[in-house]
Amino acid sequence: MAKSFTGMLPTAYSPAFLKLFARSLHWEAWEQLIRQNGWTIDRPYRSRHPLFPEIIYPIDYGYINGTRSSDGEPVDLFVGRGHRGLVGAILTIDRRRGKREVKFLYNCTAEEVYLVNGFINFDRRLLEGFLVLRYPMSSLWSDSG
């Protein structure tokens, strides 16, 4: 029987940690890197996950070119239809793979932030995410028109 990683990972990030993460993240540097390097969308809006076809992406999903995450893969990026640049990040706990990652939200509207957060947290036994916003959600709503 395969060993479960569920007990080895934190069940959640504490509110204090999330606040510290939001304050210490170099938002401007990441935003500049995204603009400089660009991104690749390998899972466009409404496309199916290659291994789990029941999973359909609610917005464009890909990665920041020229980056490497802790898992050796490029840093993940959700790209929306807004214009605010880097608006947030989701710290994820992948219980199937036993890994934690950061997924950035770029040019996402308030509605898209909600979509991505719900998408990531659809089944928290498998994948759980903790949303960290760069701006107050109310300012994203006011930008949504």
Give a yes or no: residue 7 inside a domain.
Answer: no
Residues 23-62 pLDDT 10s: 889 999 999 999 999 999 999 999 999 988 999 999 999 9
Give a yes or no: residue 106 inside a domain.
Answer: no
Distance, CA of 6 to CA of 29 (rounded, Å): 33
Give a yes or no: residue 66 inside a domain.
Answer: yes
CB crowding 90-126: b at 16 or more within 10 Å, else e: bbbbbbeeeebbbbbbbbbbbbbbebbbebbeeeeee
Give a yes or no: residue 73 inside a domain.
Answer: yes
pLDDT of residue 7: 43
Give a yes or no: residue 111 inside a domain.
Answer: no
pTM here is 0.88
pLDDT of residue 12: 73
Give a yes or no: residue 113 inside a domain.
Answer: no
Residues 52-77 pLDDT 10s: 899 999 999 999 999 998 888 999 99
Q: Between the CA of residue 57 and those of 25, 34, 144, what are the distances in Å?
A: 26, 21, 21
Residues 112-145 pLDDT 10s: 999 999 999 998 888 999 999 999 999 998 876 5
Give a yes or no: residue 78 inside a domain.
Answer: yes
Residue at token pair 């899972």 = 43
Total domain count, the chain: 1
For 28, the domain range is 14-97+128-143
Closest CA to 95 of 36, 35, 11: 11
Distance, CA of 61 to CA of 77 (rounded, Å): 6
CB crowding 79-88: b at 16 or more within 10 Å, else e: bbebebbbbb
Give a yes or no: residue 114 inside a domain.
Answer: no
Distance, CA of 102 to CA of 66 (rounded, Å): 16
Percentage of residues of the chain with pLDDT beyond 70: 91
Q: Residue 15: enclosing H or E segment and its boundaries?
A: helix 15-24
